[in-house]
C-alpha cells in the first residue's frame, strides 16, 4: 500500500535548547513543516524577545536538508507576560499561540497557573487577535487519581472558561481520555492535538509487563477504552482533531531512575506510528486530514504543497533506537517497530 500526503505539521513539540536542541531539531525539521514549539524551557519563554531569540536558535540549529521547516513560537501563560508585548508579538507574527500549564503538572511547569481564571485579561487579548490558547489539561489536585486528572481539569477549569469566553479558540493539547474527546465534541471553539503514543498505547503497555519509563508522559497514557476513543476521533477525519506529537526528549539518566521524567521522544518515527494506527483502523484515507490539513486549517494556513509518500513494506534495515547528544546524553526513540513497516519518502 502506498499513500501520499501533504508534508505534515506538528502542532505540539518540545525542541529544548543547547545540545539537546542541536540533537533533536533535525528529526522534526526533516519530517514536518510547521512546528508549534512549546515554551517550557528551564526558564519559561514569557516575552516576545525571548521567543524570537529562541526561534533564531532553532533555525540556526536546523539542518540544511530541512523540508520547509517553520517553527511557530508560543508564550508561556504566566503573570510575567506583558499584555502589550503579547499583542505586539502576535501582530508582528512572532507569536502563534499561548500555552497554559497547570503549575507542577509536567516538565518545567513550576511557573504555571494555579487557576485558569487568573488570566482572563490575557485570554481576551488572544480572543481579540484570533489567537488560540493551548491547554495542558491536567488537574494537579493530589486527591485526584492520576488517571482522572484530565477529566477533573476539564470539568473544574476548562468547561467554565469556555463558557465564559465562547469566542476564545482552545486547543486541548495531547488529549488522552474520552472526557477530552467529549469536551471537543461539546465545544465549537475547541480542537485537540493527539499524540502518536496516546493513539498507539494504553496503560497496560506502560505498566503490565515491566514498568516502561519510555512510555511515561503527562498526561499519562490512559485506559484501552480511552485509547479507542482517541483512535476513533483521530481517524474519523473530523476537522477538530490533528497531530501534535508532544515529542519530548529526556536523557536516559532522567528516564531510568527512581523518578522517571515525563516525556516520549517520537519525532523520529511518530509519523510511521500514526500511519500504523490509521492502517489498523481501516482509515488510511483520513491520514492526511489528521497529519496535514486539519491543523493547518485550524491555525489559518494552507496545507503544504510538497508531498510525502508512505509505503507499507517490511524494512530490513537496523533502525536506530537511540541517539546521543554532543554531551553524551542518550535518548530512546519511540516507534522503531512501526518504522520497520513503513518507508517514508519526501517527494519533490
Q: Which residues bind Zn ion (CB under 5 A)?
A: 246
Nearest distance from C-beta of residue 232 to Zn ion, angstroms: 23
Catalytic annotation on 185? no
- Residue 301 half-sphere exposure toward CB, CA atoms < 13 A: 19
- Residue whose C-alpha cell is 533555525: 59
Given the residues 246, 314, 318, 337, select the one marked as catalytic.
246
CA 180 to CA 97: how far, in whole Å? Answer: 20
* For Zn ion, the closer CB: 10 or 246: 246
CA 97 to CA 90: how far, in whole Å? Answer: 8
* For Zn ion, the closer CB: 10 or 279: 10
CA 100 to CA 96: how far, in whole Å? Answer: 14
Rounded to a whole number, what is the largest CA-CA distance in the chain? 55
Nearest distance from C-beta of residue 14 to Zn ion, angstroms: 6
CA 27 to CA 267: how far, in whole Å? Answer: 6
- Which uninterrupted H or E stretch holds 103? none
Q: Kindly report the backbone phi and psi dihedral angles of residue 347, in degrees, each rounded to the nearest multiple of 5, phi listed first.
A: -95, 155
* For Zn ion, the closer CB: 40 or 235: 40
Which residue, judged by CB position, is nearest to Zn ion in the bound state? Answer: 246
* For Zn ion, the closer CB: 5 or 133: 133
CA 90 distance to own-chain centroid = 21
Other C-beta atoms lying within 10 Å of the C-beta of residue 137: 28
* For Zn ion, the closer CB: 34 or 342: 34
Nearest distance from C-beta of residue 246 to Zn ion, angstroms: 4
Nearest distance from C-beta of residue 291 to Zn ion, angstroms: 18
Beta bridge partners of 242: 193
Nearest distance from C-beta of residue 173 to Zn ion, angstroms: 6
Catalytic residues: 246
Amino acid at each position: 500500500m502506498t499513500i501520499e500526503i501533504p508534508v505534515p505539521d506538528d502542532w505540539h513539540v518540545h525542541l529544548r535548547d543547547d545540545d539537546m536542541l542541536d540533537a533533536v531539531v533535525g528529526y522534526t525539521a526533516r519530517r514536518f513543516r510547521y512546528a508549534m514549539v512549546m515554551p517550557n524551557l528551564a526558564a519559561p519563554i514569557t516575552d516576545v524577545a525571548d521567543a524570537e531569540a529562541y526561534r533564531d536558535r532553532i533555525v540556526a540549529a536546523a539542518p540544511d536538508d530541512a523540508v520547509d521547516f517553520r517553527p511557530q513560537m508560543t508564550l508561556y501563560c504566566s503573570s510575567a507576560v506583558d499584555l502589550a508585548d503579547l499583542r505586539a508579538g502576535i501582530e508582528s507574527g512572532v507569536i502563534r499561540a499561548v500555552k497554559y500549564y497547570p503549575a507542577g503538572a509536567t516538565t518545567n511547569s513550576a511557573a504555571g497557573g494555579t487557576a485558569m481564571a487568573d488570566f482572563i485579561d490575557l485570554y481576551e487579548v488572544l480572543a481579540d487577535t484570533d489567537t488560540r490558547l493551548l491547554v495542558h489539561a491536567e488537574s494537579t489536585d493530589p486527591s485526584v487519581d492520576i488517571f482522572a486528572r484530565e477529566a477533573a481539569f476539564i470539568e473544574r477549569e476548562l468547561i467554565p472558561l469556555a463558557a465564559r469566553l465562547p469566542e476564545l479558540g482552545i486547543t486541548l493539547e495531547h488529549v488522552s481520555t474520552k472526557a477530552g474527546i467529549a469536551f471537543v465534541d461539546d465545544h465549537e471553539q475547541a480542537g485537540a492535538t493527539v499524540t502518536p503514543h496516546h493513539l498507539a498505547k494504553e496503560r497496560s503497555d506502560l505498566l503490565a509487563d515491566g514498568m516502561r519509563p519510555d512510555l511515561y508522559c503527562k498526561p499519562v497514557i490512559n485506559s484501552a477504552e480511552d485509547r479507542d476513543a482517541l483512535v476513533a476521533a483521530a481517524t474519523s477525519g473530523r476537522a477538530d482533531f490533528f497531530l501534535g506529537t508532544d515529542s519530548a526528549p529526556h536523557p536516559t539518566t532522567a528516564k531510568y531512575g527512581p523518578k522517571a521524567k515525563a516525556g516520549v521522544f517520537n519525532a523520529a518515527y511518530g509519523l510511521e506510528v500514526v500511519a500504523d494506527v490509521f492502517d489498523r483502523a481501516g482509515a488510511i484515507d483520513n491520514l492526511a486530514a489528521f497529519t496535514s490539513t486539519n491543523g493547518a486549517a485550524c491555525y489559518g494556513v494552507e496545507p503544504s504543497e510538497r508531498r510525502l509518500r508512505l509505503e507499507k513494506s517490511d524494512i530490513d534495515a537496523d533502525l536506530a533506537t537511540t541517539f546521543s547528544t554532543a554531551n553524551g546524553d542518550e535518548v530512546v526513540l519511540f516507534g522503531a517497530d512501526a518504522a520497520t513497516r513503513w518507508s517514508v519518502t519526501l517527494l519533490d
